[in-house]
């Protein structure tokens, strides 16, 4: 489990294509790998991955990503030198500053508009209608692993308003028009909407 509070950005240092999977080597500041263990979960662009090898002193960690994950997320588009968002898993006693995030990406959204100045950044994202049905104004959503509050919602997508702190700690400010961003819906919102729809359908059927 994660909170959607990105701790740092990391850099893809090496990519190896192996039978059935792609292996990524990420370079990150050593302090973010302290007390890490093999098999630990780390969110990369919001995608929950398993650390297969690492060197905390040197500041690198390896992940193996299967074909299904590469197709479902934007991880398959990464190249050597790409920047990604990095978050260690939630530990008992940690402060939850965002919202509970599982690291299970439901799909990607396309960045279709961007307005940015020295203090603010406004993003407009286009999202598949099946996922957009669960996006609510002022609700939670995880974009590239970042816990964010939804702005406006229209027929094709939704908007985000980013503060300087978010721009400084994450890769969102570097995104360009046409980029695909990983999306994880707020599971509580999904559960409530599906439950209401099911109850209404049962009542109408009677």
**2: CB partners within 8 A, 6+ apart:** 43, 48, 87, 89, 90, 100, 101, 102, 103, 145
8 A C-beta contact, residue 69 and residue 75: yes
| First-to-final CA distance of the chain | 40
Helix, strand counts (H, E) of the chain: 4, 12
pLDDT (tens, 9 = 90+) of the chain, 206 residues, equals 899 999 999 999 999 999 999 999 999 999 999 999 999 999 999 999 999 999 999 999 999 999 999 999 999 999 999 999 999 998 766 667 678 899 999 999 999 999 988 778 999 999 999 999 999 999 999 999 999 999 999 999 999 999 999 999 999 999 999 999 999 999 989 999 999 989 998 888 87
pLDDT digits (tens, 9 = 90+) for 7-29: 999 999 999 999 999 999 999 99
41-44 and 140-143 beta bridge pairing: unpaired
Fold exhibited by the domain 107-194 = Elongation Factor Tu (Ef-tu); domain 3 (2.40.30)
What residue spans define the domains of the chain?
8-88, 107-194
What pLDDT does 34 receive? 94
Query: Which two three-digit tokens encode residue 155?
Result: 């027929």
Q: Do domains 8-88 and 107-194 have the same CATH topology?
A: yes
pTM of the model: 0.92
Query: Which two three-digit tokens encode residue 34?
Result: 């302290």
Fold exhibited by the domain 8-88 = Elongation Factor Tu (Ef-tu); domain 3 (2.40.30)
């Amino acid at each position: 489990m994660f909170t959607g509070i990105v701790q740092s950005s990391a850099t893809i240092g090496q990519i190896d294509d192996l039978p059935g999977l792609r292996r990524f080597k990420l370079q990150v500041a050593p302090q973010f790998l302290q007390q890490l263990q093999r098999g630990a979960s780390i969110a990369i662009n919001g995608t929950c991955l398993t650390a297969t090898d690492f060197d905390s002193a040197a500041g690198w960690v390896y992940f193996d990503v299967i074909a299904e994950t590469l197709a479902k997320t934007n991880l398959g588009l990464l190249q050597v030198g790409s920047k990604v968002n990095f978050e260690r898993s939630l530990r008992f006693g940690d402060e939850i500053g965002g919202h509970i995030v599982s690291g299970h990406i439901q799909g990607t959204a396309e960045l279709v508009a961007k307005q940015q100045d020295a203090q603010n950044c406004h993003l407009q994202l286009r999202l598949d209608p099946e996922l957009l049905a669960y996006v609510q104004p002022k609700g939670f959503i995880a974009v590239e692993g970042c816990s964010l509050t939804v702005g406006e919602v229209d027929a094709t997508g939704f908007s985000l308003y980013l503060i300087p702190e978010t721009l400084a700690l994450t890769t969102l400010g570097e995104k360009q028009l046409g980029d695909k961003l990983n999306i994880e819906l707020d599971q509580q919102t999904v559960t409530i909407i599906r439950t209401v729809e099911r109850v209404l359908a049962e009542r109408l059927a009677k």
